[in-house]
Amino acid sequence: MENLDYSINLLEELDNISKIHILERDDIDGMMIEFAKRIVKTMHIERMSVWLFNQEKNAIISLGEYDSRDKSFKKESVLTKKDFPKYFKSLEENKILIAPNIYTNENTSEFSELYSKPNNVISLMDIPLRIASELVGVMCFEKTGETEKKFATAEQTFAFSISLVFASNLEARHRRAAQHKLTAALKEKELLIKEINHRVKNNFSILISLLRISKNQGLTNDPRILLEEYEHRIFSMMKIQDLLFETENYSEVKISAYLNELIKEFKSSHPELAANITSEIENSNYSIESKSALHIGLIVTEIFLNSVKHSFTKYEEYSLHLNFKKESDDFYQLAIQDSGSGFDFNENLKKNTLGLPLIKDLADDMNFISVFPTKISNLYSFKIPV
């Protein structure tokens, strides 16, 4: 049994190696080094490495390469199928590859310039790595220098057993990683369900409150007008849900996209006003929490409804313009103005209305710095903190 150290009990060494389970922390490098240190000493070789297939299986990438000559450890080297077609073909046969001389072996001779010479490798034994019967990579045992090594039967058995132990470690880590992802996904889903439930209840509570106020104040006897107003309010709530779903961000809304959708809906529901409604909305990735977005949506909706009710019918040259832009590093500014002659917002708050108190309450609730219309200006302006 040439080149094998009889002073080492292979079964005992295999048992020791099988106990190397560094699974409590994400230290695959540590596990690799512990495996390699023991194995190269036991088998009287200098190098050991593990290579795993990429997803396309047209390349293998080193999980770790240990060299006892300088105690170096490196990883993520790449060997491609197009550079080493014969070697990859031998891997696909899923058999142990033994080459006492890497330069003369038919399956490994193509390694000479790119791998064998730079690493001074003369002999190798490559063992397939399998997980659930699927070939996932290869474990390499390499002798350096000029003296060839013939791997004895006992060494082949030992190396094969080592590959099974390592594959078992690797599979356990994969299972742990998959379980961790599954657990995280389940927790995220539970939080998402709670968040959606809370958001839906909150939206219904807002609608019920608004309906009660409308009923108690008797603001209109025309059910068509009432339904139209609530259609807009419901749309502003519904569109948030759409945007949250489309972006797969279940807690924040991109405000520029949301405002564009509201303007689009205003024009669609009032085609006679479409040409008179304009906007300048800065396209940015600025996102806000969905509750804040809902407040902004309801504010914009109430301003629109108020404008149509009180300005459109009185002014032939009616227009409404919405502007949204970044004002500073601390604020975005939302400004809405129509062509009305202006009114005293604070004075009108005292009247028995729904829209103006709602606008003020929503803005105050979000601590927006607000400017409301006066007798000489029909401008609403809100500073939204970044």
Tens digits of per-residue pLDDT, 313-341?
666 688 899 999 999 989 999 999 988 77
Model-level pTM?
0.50
Q: Is the pLDDT of residue 24 over 50?
A: no
Residue 68, pLDDT score: 94
- Phi, psi at 298, each rounded to 5°: -70, -35
Q: How many CB atoms lie within 10 A of CB 128?
A: 20
What average pLDDT score do residues 91-118 get? 91
- Measured distance CA(12)–CA(17) in Å, rounded: 9
What average pLDDT score do residues 91-109 get? 91
Q: Crossing angle, helix 290-307 and helix 355-365, to 10 degrees?
A: 150
* Tokens standing for residue 107: 């399956």
In the block, tokens 């990429």 appear at: 54
Query: Which amino acid, one-letter code, is at 276?
Result: N
Q: What percent of the chain has pLDDT over 70?
A: 76
**Range of lowest pLDDT (50-64, 86-100, 277-291, 308-322):** 308-322
- Measured distance CA(334)–CA(82) in Å, rounded: 58
What average pLDDT score do residues 38-63 get? 90
State how far Cα 297 lies from the chain centre. 27
| Domains of the chain, first to last | 10-180 (3.30.450.40), 218-385 (3.30.565.10)
